[in-house]
Amino acid sequence: MTMRQAQPSLQPANDRWQNKDIICDVLGRAPDVEMGSIGEGWSLCRWRQFVGSYTLPALPQPIFTVHVAGKPQVKTWDRGGWTETSSIPGCATIVPAGMPTGWLVDGELDVVTLSVSSEVLAGQPHAEQFNKMRFAFADPLGVALTRQILAELYAPQAEERTAYVAAMVGALKAHILSGPPVQSHATDIPVSDFSAYRLHKIMNAVLAHPEDEHSLEAMAAVAGVTPSHFCRLFKKATGISPHQYVMKARLDRAQQMLVQTDLSLAALSEATGFASQSHFSRAFRNWFGMAPSEYRQQELKLLDLNKE
């Protein structure tokens, strides 16, 4: 096993492991930390501090990605558009080998990727889970193991610590190879005081139906905490307040509808959950720097130009 702080080099150490080098080329930087064992068929990297949209070409090996920290607005390209569901800290994603992917990162991101060789997957009872994309699913144990590995990687190195990290990575590998977690019911929620699963459930509900009320009291009830405690936890995890998140979800939906529909501003403001057209117009201008009507005219002109 090798373990080191990443050096700014894009030269592959072994042509069997190209995932890291492809990601390096797309991001324009080396991973913050990397470790791996070619003989045992795995490679782990940490990537931080990048923002924007990225097209990742097909990777030779599947990867298990853990969203460790950063902003919650991370989306992937699916069927001609960005997904409504976002990845948040505490989520995991599986990217299969041979599948190009697109990514939209709205704010700094901190992720860990674990590449697994085809030889390791061969014969595994749940290897089929790596044959298709699984985006932003809750995996508390996988996230906890990943964060513990990172904590040990940044501690002073010692022989016993290296063995401990190797054991932790082994546990993470065993966990992801054991297959998707089994849930007794779709609405079951873990009983811990607060969890990434609960936060993910709340945020996805807002993204799916931003026009709904989404009161602070209702969201806190789903989380199982008081409204004031929920505000603190939500902001710590996402960097924004619950009210700001709901507002952003409504404005993002309105932005899409301005281009994709011919609804009047009054109808559109009602459809996206705003109390009035004036409230919607004021919020839109504050967020995007222009009036909704100006944005619609601008985007429709661009569409016309692209058709010519």
pLDDT at 4 over 70: no
CA gap 174, 133 in Å, rounded = 20
Whether residues 104 and 215 fall in one domain: no
Q: Which CATH number do you get for residue 196?
A: 1.10.10.60
**Domain boundaries, position 138:** 2-177
Where are the extended beta strands (E) located within the chain? 2-5, 33-37, 42-48, 52-56, 63-70, 74-78, 81-82, 91-95, 101-105, 109-116, 134-138
Residues 68-73: what's their mean pLDDT?
74
- Map residue 203 onto helix, strand or coil: helix
Measured between alpha carbons, how far is 137 from 211 in angstroms, rounded to an integer?
24
The verdict on 45 and 166 lying in the same domain is: yes
Residues 160 and 285 in one domain: no
Residues 56 and 162 in one domain: yes
**Edge-first strand listing for the sheet containing 52-56:** 52-56, 101-105, 74-78, 81-82
Local confidence band at 15 (pLDDT 50, 70, 90 cut-offs) = very low
Q: Could you tell me the end-to-end alpha-carbon distance of the chain, in angstroms, rounded to an integer?
A: 56
Q: Is the pLDDT of residue 123 over 80?
A: no
Judge whether 62 and 95 are in contact, CB under 8 Å. Answer: yes
Span 180-233, pLDDT tens digits? 654 433 334 343 445 666 777 888 888 889 999 999 999 988 888 889 988 888
C-alpha–C-alpha distance, residues 8 and 183, integer Å = 42
* Reported pTM: 0.59
Residue 60's pLDDT is: 92
At which of 142, 177, 212 does a domain end?
177
Q: What is the pLDDT of residues 131-182, one digit of tens each?
A: 899 998 877 788 888 888 888 877 777 777 777 888 888 888 888 888 765 4
